[in-house]
Structure 1
Amino acid sequence: MKDDSHKLYYNINEAAARYGFDASKLRYWESVFPMLKPEKRGGDRIYTLADLEILDEIVYLVEHKKHKLSAARQIMESDRSQRSKIKRAIQQLEVVKRYLQDVKELLK
Structure 2
Amino acid sequence: MLEPSHNDELPVIPGKRYFTIGEVSELCAVKPHVLRYWEQEFPQLKPVKRRGNRRYYQHQDVILIRQIRSLLYDQGYTIGGARQRMTGEEETTEQASNSTEYKALLREVITELEDVLKVLAA
Both structures adopt the same fold (TM-score exceeding 0.5):
yes
Normalised to the residue count of structure 1, the TM-score between the two structures is 0.69
Is residue 2:55 matched to residue 1:8? no
Shift in Å, 1:52: 1.0
Q: Secondary structure at the match of 1:40?
A: strand
Deviation readout 1:8-34 (Å, 9 max, x if unpaired): 210111101112222100000001101
1:17 to 26, 32, 41: 26
CA–CA distance in 2 between the matches of 1:50 and 1:25? 18
Deviation readout 1:38-73 (Å, 9 max, x if unpaired): 110111110001111211210110111011111000
Shift in Å, 1:80: 3.0
Is residue 2:37 matched to residue 1:37? no
Q: 1:51 to 1:4 in 2, by over 3 A?
A: closer
Paired residues, number:
84
Matches within 5 A, 1:6-85: 6-42=15-51, 43-82=53-92
CA–CA distance in 1 between the matches of 2:43 and 2:62? 14
Percent identical residues: 30
Identify unmatched segments of 5+ residues in structure 1. 87-108
CA–CA distance in 2 between the matches of 1:39 and 1:48? 8
**Higher relative contact order at CA 8 Å, sep ≥6: structure 1 or structure 2?**
2
CA–CA distance in 2 between the matches of 1:84 and 1:9? 32
Q: Secondary structure at the match of 1:46?
A: strand
Aligned AA for 1:13? G
Indicate the structure (1 or 2) with the bigger Cα radius of gyration.
2
Aligned AA for 1:48? Q
CA–CA distance in 1 between the matches of 2:38 and 2:30? 12
Which is further off, 4-13 or 71-80? 4-13
Q: Secondary structure at the match of 1:36?
A: coil
